[in-house]
Structure 1
Amino acid sequence: MHFTIAIIGRPNVGKSTLFNRLVGKKLALVDDRPGVTRDRREGEAQLGDLEFSIVDTAGLEQSDPDSLTGRMRAQTEAAIEGADAIFFVIDARTGLTPTDRHFGDLVRRSGKPIILIANKAEGKVGTAGAYEAFDLGLGEPIALSAEHGDGFSELYAAVREALPEQTALPDDIEEDDTAPLVLGDEEDGSELDPTKPLRIAVVGRPNAGKSTLINRILGEDRLLTGPEAGITRDSISVDFVWTPPRGEARKMKLFDTAGLRRRASIQDKLEKLAAGDAIRAVKFAEVVVLLLDATIPFEKQDLTIADLVEREGRALVIGLNKWDLVQDQQKLLKELREKADHLLPQLRGMAVVPVSGLEGTGIDKLMAAILRVHELWNKRLSTGRLNRWLEGAIERTPPPAVSGRRIKIRYMTQPKARPPYFVLFGNQLDHLPTSYERFLINGLRETFEFPGVPIRISKRTSSNPFEGKRKPPDNKRKRH
């Protein structure tokens, strides 16, 4: 039976290190400074033969509910509410603090099974701190070192004891080897698999309203928000099901990312880690929503982010957030769509959708644009259809000559999508000018409708069958 465990504790006790150890990946940012984690992050953990959901949370601190730390605490309390059990973590090297005692009472009042973990328990100092944890009255502490991987067998036994029903082994396990194998069909025109979650990364400059927009899409205050710029640090992934006004429900995975500033402006180590995490989210995504502040759109950093998306081969949708603050909306929208095509010709025709995360307007149109561009990103064209178009394009605008010899493009095929990837075959294609490649890409984009989708072209030149071969000798006798 699947279950969820939340990791709770004051700042800098090693919660994110424990989270990363259990999920087997460095998903959560880790630093020596306290308060690195702000949002709650979920992952799929494995402990022995146990598989469960694990939730990393912000460090518990006593503060005003309206402050940033107060809102972080509210996110942590929501994680406690949704969990089946709690890992309450203390720092064994520091020993018990008044904060540990205060929040120990908080988790006790939750009524959930509590597993007390004395982290950083390696060495004599850590062992003494682990014994001190008995004073919390939360049961026997597990002496653990999340960084070095010590004590996890004891943790496994404690989880089995705290959640006996959820961790009970089935009487008999049957393997299902009848699952159908899904194979791609070259002529079906698509590599889209609607059964898999659509991965969407929301990126942009700091304070563009990314977390607010995602909360509105989810219909809950899942992510930490506020007027302060740079609240989000980790790239937080959230699974949900989107049901459009018309059409079938679709599984999705949304990634909220840290705001990306110019590299020269980033001096802080933690901000560099957060920026790297956001870039990894772009690489992992299928569709990227570049969220702009509609009151100050298309700064240089926005174009840099869009260029990154194109280089990584991801489909792009531009969201114009804070649209409720714009006065002449129709005029500005027309101007920004024209500006987007001019500034980002490599993604010409991309969807530019006005939204308001605060008021919830434009969400349906944004999600429809995401689904549409994802469908195009997966589209694959038949070879016959491609070459009928190519023949007409070459006839209207032939390739230029090189050293007096005409470049010949014989045919084209699309071996794969995600993003659409085309291969040209012919003679002297190594000399094909970049301008003619752009001509072909623009023609493909307009004719077959690939707005906002990167297009890749590679060239394969036919080899000369006589190249490198010696001229056959003349066997005829010379006459004297």
Structure 2
Amino acid sequence: MAVPQVVIVGRPNVGKSSLFNWLARRRLAIVDDHAGVTRDRLATLIEHDDRYFELVDTGGMGVVDEDDLTADVRHQIDVAIESADVIVFVVDIRAGVVSLDEEVGERLRSLDVPVILVANKADSDTLDPQANDFYRLGRGRLVCVSTQQNRNREELLELIVDRLPAGAETRPDQDPQMKIAIVGRRNVGKSTFTNTLAQAERVIVSEVAGTTRDSVDVQFELDGQRFVAIDTPGLRKRKSVRTDLEFYSTHRAQRSVRRGDVVLMFFDANESVSKVDKQLVGYIIENYKPCVFVVNKWDQLAGKVTTDRWVRYLRHQFPTLSYAPIAFITGQTGKNVKALLNHSQMLYKQARTRVSTGQLNRLVHAAIDQHPPPMYQNRRPKVYYATQVSTEPPTVVLMCNEPKAFANDYRRYLLGVLRDHLPFGEVPIKLYLHRRNRNEEAPPGVQN
């Protein structure tokens, strides 16, 4: 049996996203006083009393979207409700019952699933009597909570767990194998690609710039394995980030890069590389993430431009990521998408690989013998031994007599040797040079 879904619904600005973050104990959804911030369905896995469920946040029911996406938001809410095993109906205890609350209650009245009525913003028990008026909405057990004052979180979780379907799985069937962060500037086709992976309208797709505001985790399967695609908001130039929503969206996109095991950096085949693209690639480099350059909408250039031309263009624009593979896809039709995912799995495997100390030392010493480092203060720099200390990214430490003696160009030479001869050919490598203390022992198998 699949992990049950618990769906949060309610009118705009009752605190649904705050409740979502509060129950998850993480800032996953953007919280803002601006109505209609949440558009797509956001989901996260929750565990309580050895029971698992997927908590789903939705947009405000009855909202009129400022970018004419009202029908799309409503569709996302309807899909969530139809898949729900438990509904959490959120109202604002301070505002009392309003007409939109009654409309939401009417929408839920015909559902044959448990409903929990949550009176939010009850910062103290003196406000609890005001919740009695919500009983006339006609559905569900009522509980008063406050996300700001951390009131009654455990009680709400207990109510949810008690209403989960009998026989539901106590844990997910399988943990996801890999998290793929899908990033790029606005309107390059990230959400369309995500929907292709999910084989469903999982996120809203629109020509309106900035449609996606939150980072949305979408689970999908390929060849019997589960993965997570993280659809991210499209980035803008820093000087163009003028509102809180844009600031939070940029922050979410950057956090998604950090969370991802592999980053797919999207480009529009019809557009040249922009300053925003370079800023985003710079952030990927700073975080040492395996990356694939994805040229999307390639069908629109069929017969007009060769892939070789785009490869040369991207290599010229991003010389420090010359090792990153480049894929040409059509996200809308799924062309070359499976090959892209297979290559992403290869990068994931490379980033998690560990090589033996003996193999690493033989390679490093051979590279130094073939091309010795330049003299430094009338002395020849020495590397005593090398060792890999971590993975994701592969991290190599060289113990030497003087780290400052190894200039940046020589460090790049050593990185190139590691990448050419070890199974790290297409992923970033961290290289540290440390001064060796006289009394420090070398690792087993390495001569002092």
TM-score normalised to structure 2 length: 0.89
2:345 alignment partner, SS class = helix
- Contact map agreement 1:160 1:167 (CA 8 A) in 2: no
The 5-angstrom pairing of residues 435-446 of structure 1 reads 435-446=409-420
1:451 deviation in Å? 4.0
Identity %: 34
Partner of 2:319: 345
CA separation of 1:348 and 1:450: change in aligned 2, threshold 3 A: farther
1:449-473 alpha-carbon deviations (Å, 9 max, x no partner): 53441111111233468xxxxxxxx
- The amino acid across from 2:391 in the alignment is A
Partner of 1:229: 209
The 5-angstrom pairing of residues 311-330 of structure 1 reads 311-328=286-303
1:395 deviation in Å? 2.8
Runs of 5+ in structure 2 lacking a partner? 440-448
CA separation of 1:126 and 1:385: change in aligned 2, threshold 3 A: same
Partner of 2:446: none
1:20-71 alpha-carbon deviations (Å, 9 max, x no partner): 121122211111121111111112235567542211111112669x941211
- Tell whether 2:257 aligns with 1:282: yes
State how far apart, in whole Å, the 2-side matches of 1:256 and 1:381 are. 33
2:79 alignment partner, SS class = helix
- Contact map agreement 1:201 1:281 (CA 8 A) in 2: yes
Partner of 1:99: 100
CA separation of 1:143 and 1:435: change in aligned 2, threshold 3 A: same
2:383 alignment partner, SS class = strand
- Contact map agreement 2:11 2:63 (CA 8 A) in 1: no
State how far apart, in whole Å, the 2-side matches of 1:251 and 1:379 are. 21
- Contact map agreement 1:294 1:320 (CA 8 A) in 2: yes
1:416 deviation in Å? 2.4
CA separation of 1:406 and 1:46: change in aligned 2, threshold 3 A: closer
- Contact map agreement 2:195 2:202 (CA 8 A) in 1: yes
Name which of 231, 238, 255 aligns with 2:218: 238
State how far apart, in whole Å, the 2-side matches of 1:139 and 1:413 are. 60
1:405 alignment partner, SS class = coil
1:317 deviation in Å? 0.6
1:67-96 alpha-carbon deviations (Å, 9 max, x no partner): 412111111111111111111112222222
CA separation of 1:59 and 1:433: change in aligned 2, threshold 3 A: same
The 5-angstrom pairing of residues 54-453 of structure 1 reads 54-61=55-62, 67-122=68-123, 126-127=127-128, 129-139=130-140, 141-152=142-153, 154-156=155-157, 158-159=159-160, 162-163=163-164, 165=166, 197-243=177-223, 249-328=224-303, 331=306, 333-448=307-422, 450-453=424-427
1:374-433 alpha-carbon deviations (Å, 9 max, x no partner): 122122222333333333322332100012211123332323221121122232232211
CA separation of 1:164 and 1:228: change in aligned 2, threshold 3 A: closer
- Contact map agreement 1:408 1:429 (CA 8 A) in 2: no
1:242-293 alpha-carbon deviations (Å, 9 max, x no partner): 21xxxxx332121111111222221111111111111111111111011111
State how far apart, in whole Å, the 1-side matches of 2:44 and 2:361 are. 46
State how far apart, in whole Å, the 1-side matches of 2:77 and 2:8 are. 9
- Contact map agreement 2:176 2:228 (CA 8 A) in 1: no
CA separation of 1:279 and 1:253: change in aligned 2, threshold 3 A: same
Partner of 1:246: none
CA separation of 1:51 and 1:435: change in aligned 2, threshold 3 A: same
- Contact map agreement 1:22 1:47 (CA 8 A) in 2: no
- The amino acid across from 2:210 in the alignment is G
In the comparison of the two structures, how many residue pairs are matched? 434
- Contact map agreement 1:48 1:156 (CA 8 A) in 2: no
State how far apart, in whole Å, the 1-side matches of 2:157 and 2:265 are. 42
1:164 deviation in Å? 7.4
1:76-122 alpha-carbon deviations (Å, 9 max, x no partner): 11111111111111222222222221221111123222122222234
State how far apart, in whole Å, the 1-side matches of 2:141 and 2:351 are. 54
Partner of 1:19: 20
2:432 alignment partner, SS class = strand
- The amino acid across from 2:86 in the alignment is A
1:334-383 alpha-carbon deviations (Å, 9 max, x no partner): 12222333332332231111111222212112112201111221222223
State how far apart, in whole Å, the 2-side matches of 1:277 and 1:390 are. 39
TM-score normalised to structure 1 length: 0.83
Moved more, 359-368 or 122-131: 122-131
Q: Which has the larger radius of gyration?
A: 1
- The amino acid across from 1:309 in the alignment is I
RMSD across aligned C-alpha pairs, in angstroms? 2.7
State how far apart, in whole Å, the 2-side matches of 1:158 and 1:412 are. 55
- The amino acid across from 1:264 in the alignment is K
Partner of 1:183: none
- Contact map agreement 2:43 2:54 (CA 8 A) in 1: yes
- Contact map agreement 1:386 1:413 (CA 8 A) in 2: yes
State how far apart, in whole Å, the 1-side matches of 2:383 and 2:316 are. 29
Runs of 5+ in structure 1 lacking a partner? 171-193, 244-248, 466-480
Moved more, 444-453 or 310-319: 444-453
- Contact map agreement 1:348 1:451 (CA 8 A) in 2: no
- Contact map agreement 1:428 1:461 (CA 8 A) in 2: yes
- The amino acid across from 2:70 in the alignment is T
- Contact map agreement 2:14 2:120 (CA 8 A) in 1: yes
- The amino acid across from 2:270 in the alignment is T
